[in-house]
Amino acid sequence: MTESLEIQRRPEEASAVLARLLAERHSCRAFLPVPVERPTIEWIFTTAQRAASWCNSQPWQVSIVSGPALRRLRAALEKAAETGQERESDFAFPTEYRGVYGERRRECGFQLYNSVGVARGDRAGYARQSAQNYRLFGAPHAAIVTSDQGLGAYGAIDVGGYVQILLLAMQAQQVAAIPQAAPANYSKLVKTAAGISDDRVLVCSVAFGYEAADHPVNSFRTSRAPIDAVVTWIDQ
């Protein structure tokens, strides 16, 4: 409580810390083969528990997969993707990215492919980089995040808010991460591998570890729209 009051007395300092964490955080796509220390992981997930949720339902459950278990999961995902196993996700994926949403997606994609030397139109190169999703980008840990089936979209929204807090908590500890939808293409496979019951719905996974800072795939940063592109002021 005392610490909370101290922060309230110094809002400009707290604002600067938040702005810095948001500016520094990015989706990491290459990791060092070094596990994160257990106390650090526990601090991160304890901190993320402060995330807001509908009626304080806190619908998220997290399975943190590491070591041999992660190697088995990675191998299973790679095999499923390589062999064209039928996809089955607990939530419908976007049907299309229209207008500005497609433009932002393409911009991010071109930045990614350019960073690793994949020329525009190189379909084989696209496929190789896309396959990294199912390798979990070589991260030493993956957090599988699920919600309760009965909470539907609102449970998924709460999980999304939780993941954002989780990413900031990781950044505060200099732990790199990338939230992923790709493993959710094979939700039953992932839940079986992680021992997750059928009444849970897989929202996403978060690959995390220490960043391979010198890898070119970690060299680019995505842009953000100005607030006048997303905020409407209604005061009359």
| pLDDT score recorded for residue 188 | 96
Query: What confidence tens digit (pLDDT) does each residue in 13-29 have?
Result: 899 999 999 999 999 99
Average pLDDT, the chain: 95
How is the chain split into domains, by residue range? 25-95+134-217
* Half-sphere exposure in the Cβ direction for 216 (13 Å, CA): 9
| pLDDT score recorded for residue 68 | 98
Provide φ and ψ at 209, rounded to 5°.
Answer: 170, -155
Percent of the chain with pLDDT over 70: 96
> What is the rounded (10 degree) CA torsion for 48, 54, 56, 57?
-90
Is pTM beyond 0.85? Reply is: yes
Cβ burial of 34 (10 Å; 0-12, 13-18, 19+) is exposed
Q: How far is CA 209 from CA 1, 73, 145, in A?
A: 31, 17, 16
| pLDDT score recorded for residue 12 | 83
Query: What confidence tens digit (pLDDT) does each residue in 176-212 have?
Result: 999 999 999 999 999 999 999 999 999 999 999 999 9
Average pLDDT over residues 136-155: 97
| pLDDT greater than 70 at residue 9 | no
Query: What confidence tens digit (pLDDT) does each residue in 115-142 have?
Result: 999 999 999 999 999 999 999 999 999 9
| pLDDT score recorded for residue 192 | 96
Quick one: fold of 25-95+134-217? Answer: NADH Oxidase (3.40.109)
The closest alpha carbon to 26, from 175, 154, 140, 203, belongs to 175
Query: What confidence tens digit (pLDDT) does each residue in 87-115 have?
Result: 999 999 999 999 999 999 999 999 999 99
| pLDDT score recorded for residue 11 | 74
> What is the rounded (10 degree) CA torsion for 163, 22, 35, 68?
30
How many helices and strands in the chain, by DSSP H and E? 8, 4
Return d(Cα 147, Cα 41) in angstroms, integer.
21
* Half-sphere exposure in the Cβ direction for 80 (13 Å, CA): 22
Rounded to 5°, the CA angle 45-157-107 comes to: 90
